[in-house]
Amino acid sequence: MVSLFMAIVLCYALSALAVLVMRSVGRKRREVRHYVLRGDNHELHMEGYIRAIRWFSLATGAPVKITVVDEGSTDQTAAIVQKLAREDQSIRLHRAGQAQDQPDGTDGFGLAGEAGMVQAAEFSDIQACWYLGRLRAEGIISGNEQTVLVDLRRPEQLVKLPQLPG
C-alpha cells in the first residue's frame, strides 16, 4: 500500500518537473515581438490597433511590446497612447526628435518634425533600416526583439498588424 502511494507521488513529481522544464524551454525560445507603430494623427484607430496587438499576445501567449512613435500629431493620439500605457507597461509613447544624417541625403522622413513629415509617403527598405537603427541607438528597440515596423500612414502596411476575430 505504501509502495503504491510512493509510486503515485513519484509520478506526480516527475510530471510537475516535466511541465516546469517545458515552460522554461518555451520561454527561452520566445523572443519578444516589438511592434513599432509610426504615425501621427490616428486617434480614431489607435486604440483598436493597440488592443488588436494585445489580444494577439493574450491569444497566442507571445510576449509583445508596443512603441508608438508620434511624429507631430495634432489630435488626441498621444493622450490615448499615454492612457493605455498607464494600464499596460509594455506600451510606450516615443515622441520623434530631430533626424540626423539620412542615408538618402534628405532632412528626414518623420523624425525631423514638420519638414520631414511631408517626405514620409515613400518608406524604402534602406530608410526602414535606418529608422530602426536610429530607434535602436536611442534605446527604444533592444537587440533580442523581433521588430515589426508599421507605418500607419500607409494603408498597405496595416496588414502587419494582427487582426481581431470577427
Mean predicted lDDT score pLDDT of the chain: 76
Cβ neighbours of 109 (radius 10 Å): 25
pLDDT of residue 165: 62
Tell me the percentage of the chain whose pLDDT exceeds 70. Answer: 77
CA separation, residue 75 to residues 16, 43, 44, 46, 78 (Å): 52, 7, 10, 11, 8
Is residue 105 scored above 50 in pLDDT? Answer: no
pLDDT tens for 54-69 read: 998 988 888 999 999 8
Q: Mean of the pLDDT values across residues 136-141? A: 82
pLDDT tens for 20-31 read: 777 766 555 568
Q: Mean of the pLDDT values across residues 37-56? A: 89
Confidence at 116, pLDDT banded by 50, 70, 90: very low
Q: Mean of the pLDDT values across residues 102-113? A: 40
Q: Mean of the pLDDT values across residues 64-87? A: 89
pLDDT of residue 99: 43
pLDDT greater at residue 31 or residue 35: 35
Q: Mean of the pLDDT values across residues 13-37? A: 76
